[in-house]
Amino acid sequence: MSMDTKCLSVLRALFFPPRCASCGEFLQEHLLDTEPRALCEACRRKWEYAKLAVCKRCGEELSQCRCLPSPLGKAGVSTLLKMVSYDKGRDSVAKRCILCLKRKNSDAVFGFFSEQLAALLKGYLDETYTSEKSVLVTYVPRGRKNLLQSGVDQSERLARGVADYLGCDFARLIERSRGHDGEHKRMGGDARFAHAYKAFRSANYDVKAINKSYRCLVLVDDVVTTGASLAACAQLLEPRFGGRIVCLSLARTEKT
């Protein structure tokens, strides 16, 4: 980092002090750090503790759990990698961090959580003897209305960050369908899945080139609830892609 860049970082921290992505407290103790922080020390400890949660189905830690929701399995997904449990009805560090990602376009916050996801994916790639060079990272695109309101597509930024950290390639393979941009998160049952399958379409890309260069496709989303969005995107990709499809998410709603 050059001297000018360091000075700019210090000035930015002085005039626009960074806040914790979870509790909102100023991160004043890190003003002179060259690496921006996303969480205060107390919230970082809570985040690390949340990562120790276990899957209610198999009993493994979530980072080691390979339980696959039925819709994802039917869509051709090989595995779902997730980091923490998410409950939208309960206040937690995980919930507050997810909301921060959806609302604020912070380099420090996205840098931190992208690195967390990259480490999770790296463990899986090592476990399956998969080279980073054979991995292509893509994402579940956010709806246009929410994108215009917040100015950020959190899944895209996370996917780009993961690709940068691991040295993988990144591509935009899925687009939002026009006329089906409404939110389906408030829908229930079959209506939610039916809407999700209409909400996405394949982007223009060279199918032959992708199949020739990559053996693993990583589909990134910030949080998984029913898995409808991931399943819809995977269903578009699976018939055209000859390798494995892996879903990667920060949080997963756990069901008993």
What rounded mean pLDDT belongs to the chain? 87
Find where tokens 């998984």 sit. Answer: 224
Q: Give pTM, 2 decimals.
A: 0.88
For position 256, what pLDDT does the model report?
A: 47
Q: pLDDT confidence of 203, banded at 50, 70, 90?
A: very high
* Whether 40 contacts 27, CB under 8 Å: yes
Find where tokens 């210090």 sit. Answer: 10
Instruction: Give dist(CA 104, CA 100) in Å, integer.
Output: 6
Sequence-distant (6+) residues with CB within 8 A of 104 are: 21, 150, 152
Instruction: Give dist(CA 185, CA 196) in Å, integer.
Output: 9
pLDDT single digits (tens) 47-73? 999 999 999 889 999 989 998 989 999
Q: pLDDT confidence of 4, banded at 50, 70, 90?
A: low
pLDDT single digits (tens) 91-124? 999 999 999 999 988 888 999 999 999 999 999 9
Give the SS3 label for residue 116: helix
Instruction: Give dist(CA 80, CA 71) in Å, integer.
Output: 11
For position 37, what pLDDT does the model report?
A: 78
Rg (CA), the chain: 18
For position 1, what pLDDT does the model report?
A: 47
